[in-house]
């Protein structure tokens, strides 16, 4: 599996390296509900691959299941950057706003395990 490279429109603000794994993310704005995939996540946020990007500053509610977990993670986040349809992959980077300490720890443990191989 190759590493997904994300080229943000704004300067790089990511605090932690993201790790690649496929997770379905159900998310909604005030107006619409979506279901897309992320392959790129860390304890600070994720990148959703989609042609239907929302502008930076958009608040989204998200729900997703991590590999090896039966309990879905529910959180809110803010779109911090987007990539366009001519870029690979198109989508948006979302920073978690209210991730619980338990969910943050679970993501951190999964990311560390995947990085270690």
As averages over each run of 10 residues, the pLDDT of the chain (117 residues) reads: 36 50 89 90 90 94 88 94 85 93 88 79
CA distance 116 to 102: 21
Distance of CA 80 to the CA centre of its chain: 11
| Sequence-separated (6 or more) residues with CB below 8 Å from residue 103 | 73, 75
CATH fold for the domain made of 19-109: Thrombin, subunit H (2.40.10)
What is the domain partition of the chain in residue ranges? 19-109
pTM: 0.77
């Amino acid at each position: 599996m190759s590493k997904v490279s994300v080229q943000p429109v704004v300067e790089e603000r990511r605090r932690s390296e993201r790790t690649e794994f496929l997770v379905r993310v159900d998310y909604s704005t005030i107006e619409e509900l979506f279901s897309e995939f992320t392959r790129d996540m860390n304890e600070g946020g994720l990148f959703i691959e989609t042609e239907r990007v929302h502008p930076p500053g958009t608040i989204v509610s998200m729900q997703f299941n991590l590999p090896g977990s039966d309990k879905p993670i529910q959180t809110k986040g803010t779109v911090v950057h987007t990539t366009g349809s001519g870029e690979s992959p198109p989508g948006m980077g979302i920073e978690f706003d209210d991730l619980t300490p338990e969910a943050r720890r679970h993501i951190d443990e999964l990311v560390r395990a995947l990085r270690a191989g």
